[in-house]
Structure 1
């Protein structure tokens, strides 16, 4: 998902489950039935563009178009990623929430477990044109296996390595690094004269999780076992997290100040020529908003261990990223909500919105548009289809993002402050995170 920023922990408790039936401000228990409803919807959109104002400018005309077609007014609020999960969980507990909302696809199982979201059974999928319109891998990240999805895919994404072509030319480097060993050697050539090789966001909990998850997969590890029990502090996970933090602590290719970044500052540094590379999801629109032009940057797959190829063995190089759109089950305007989801996932809207945001439509027909065959999107689409893996589809996923994401944040703070980052210190942070899962 692009910027799935789970900013705070939330354990889904029995009280939360009980409160879920109060969501959305409505009073119908029908999972997709009709009712008499006001001609208004509230919609919480995630921040997909370079800033909230850009999202309002993108979505405003489309929501007006929907109103003209249906007579249903949509009250839009664009919620920053740093706040979105907390806002959703508060709405789930209090009953004071929107009718329709965007969620990071990695949160689907956690929010599904509350019982607050409308299940997308066959009847509800039929109301928006059918399940078969969507790429099945995207639906696979919309809830736990064996259950009706808790949401519908809206924007699909994956990670890539973006690199500044001018900075590479000036350093005499003719290609981006394909392995982590090359990342370090290339990065040390680029990290000089006040500039740095790689941007990171050490205080961005979800970004920390995404990078740690990929490296964990590459080390042959997992953060949960087959029974769903957390296994955060295994030796392979410790090695994976240490490898990531060592890019700052030992290899010196990430600026110490990046330990405090959490709101896309790494993208701005990249656009301003302060860093030569960044690992990000679908970043083209943000680069353009910061003044870069097509051709200023290149895009390549995220590095993998030496001696492998993306998709072979454990050489995963992205999590399955994306944004889903969900409906609170007890909205008093289910018919209107279904009409809105149908509109947002229509072929025309999928083409328009995904072009704007530089993402990939999860709707099959929309993917055929030539606009999604650019160099950037070809790399991203190939990654999604061949070498991406979903984050753990467990009810505690949002808590996992916070617990392990915070552990990585604290380790980056140690690195930035000149404190040693050792195998023992990494293991201790991950063990603490694992203990928090039991509380």
Structure 2
């Protein structure tokens, strides 16, 4: 999921998700003449700085596909604030596109509706085989032990972006590698109306991404091995408190960030209001805001101690966008051709360059610009120290419930209210009570 749209967005009501069934997809009422083998409808997620930019990026590629295959693609770029609910509505109404983007963290939840085409060996063979894709990206395509519900399209990882001049002015010679170092550096940088780091406190998806990573670093998970929610264990509580404390106790995040919900922290960083930014593959976003790449550095997200790696040194969720096909599409052959086109080496280079993401296709990663130093940080993170969010059927509700709890805790911090271990635990208990009962 992603930046300029916010990272994998989307609060979804529990009632809507639980109402989703396997009846959906591929109706001509979904916005295109899906009954024609020469027409496809494609819902693309908003990856660029605006929907207009996405159309500008995608339009020539869709024309290229039409020239190659004779199939016209009817494109709709859907804002992240609407995308999940639009998809869920399509699964119940049957009025959806043929091919669509999904945030990769939603894969298991949408898989559970039964509306998406399973990518078994036969279907993967149509697009060149499953082994073309990197393991980390495949890890966020659906529940373990089941055929994937989607195919990776764009891969992303969180990194720490830092303003070189602001660091030099504060006498800081290198980016922080641990959270203690980040807090210490942050106090030096949070002066004169400037702040150390930004946060999207009202962005539910950003909140869950960071809470998940912090929990991993505390050796904790939000779910037990049997899939039962475990939001109030000591590690999760400590992780959420540590994150919110960047504002509440450490005071290196501006209180106003509690209301940020869509890229404002990126804008603040680009304008020199903040010295650091925690974001997914942010280069294209920063460029669109006029920030020269020479003015900032890119480093791995800090860990509790040591260096990034697996387990308690995890420092990113496996972020990204997947391609899915509605199972009931009336143009399955054309949909498979379109997925093959978008995941071809040539298109992977074009699209991932445009969005400053990393190709999930192995061979496409081995060419410029994905071999430069900035992308090396992201690729290394995805290969060695990123973990997939829980691939459980209730993942969407998990994002909404816990992300909202963190949002409310940030609001408390901004309002000057104490954020204690007890208040964090109470917020997470409330979130856990909102999860579907087994």
Task: Write the mapping of 1:187-336 to structure 2, written as runs, cut at 5 A.
Answer: 187-306=186-305, 308-311=306-309, 313-336=311-334
1:39-97 deviation per Cα after TM superposition (whole angstroms, max 9, x unaligned):
21111111111221111110011111111111111111111112211111111122211
Distance 1:78 1:21 in 2: 24
| Greater alpha carbon shift after TM alignment, 323-332 vs 132-141 | 132-141
Q: CA deviation at 1:173?
A: 1.2
8 A Cα contact 1:42 1:98, kept in partner: yes
CA shift for structure 1 position 313: 4.5
* Deviation (angstroms), 1:309: 1.7
Q: Which runs of 5+ in 1 are unaligned?
A: 28-34
The worse-fitting range, judged by mean Cα deviation, of 265-274 and 69-78 is: 69-78
Partner of 1:21: 23
Q: Distance in 1 between matches of 2:350 and 2:386?
A: 25
> Which residue of structure 2 lines up, in the alignment, with residue 5 of structure 1?
9
Instruction: Give how far 1:11 is off.
Output: 5.0
Listed one character per residue, the Cα deviations across residues 305-327 of structure 1 (whole Å, up to 9, x for unaligned) are 13x22115511100111110000
The alignment covers a number of residue pairs equal to 429
Structure 1 residue 36: deviation in Å? 7.0
Change (3 A) 1:84 1:312: closer
Q: In angstroms, what is the RMSD of aligned CA positions?
A: 1.6
Tell me, what secondary structure is at the counterpart of 1:98?
A: coil
In 2 relative to 1, CA 236–56 (structure 1 residues): closer, same or farther, beyond 3 Å? same
Match of residue 354, structure 1, among 352, 355, 367: 352
Relative to the length of structure 1, the TM-score reads: 0.95
Secondary structure of 1:209's aligned partner: helix
Match of 1:113 in 2: 112
Instruction: Report how far residue 120 of structure 1 moved.
Output: 0.6
Q: Distance in 1 between matches of 2:8 and 2:92?
A: 21
Q: 2: CA distance between counterparts of 1:162 and 1:207? A: 16
Contact 1:26 1:330 in 2 (8 A): no
* Normalised TM-score (structure 2): 0.95
**8 Å Cα contact 2:342/2:348 also seen in 1:** yes
Equivalent residues of 2:28, 2:95 under 8 A apart: no
1:158 and 2:162 correspond:
no
| Offset, 1:370 | 2.5
Compared CA separation, residues 298 and 110, structure 1 to 2 (3 A): same
Gaps of 5+ in 2: none
Corresponding residue of 1:32: none
Task: Please give the alpha-carbon distance, in whole angstroms, between the structure 1 residues aligned to 2:135 and 2:204.
Answer: 28
- Preserved CA contact (<8 Å) 2:153 2:359: yes
C-alpha offsets along residues 257-283 of structure 1, whole Å, 9 cap, x if unaligned? Answer: 111111111111100001110111100
Secondary structure of the 1:101 match is strand
1:70 aligns with 2:72: no
Counterpart in the other structure of 2:122:
123
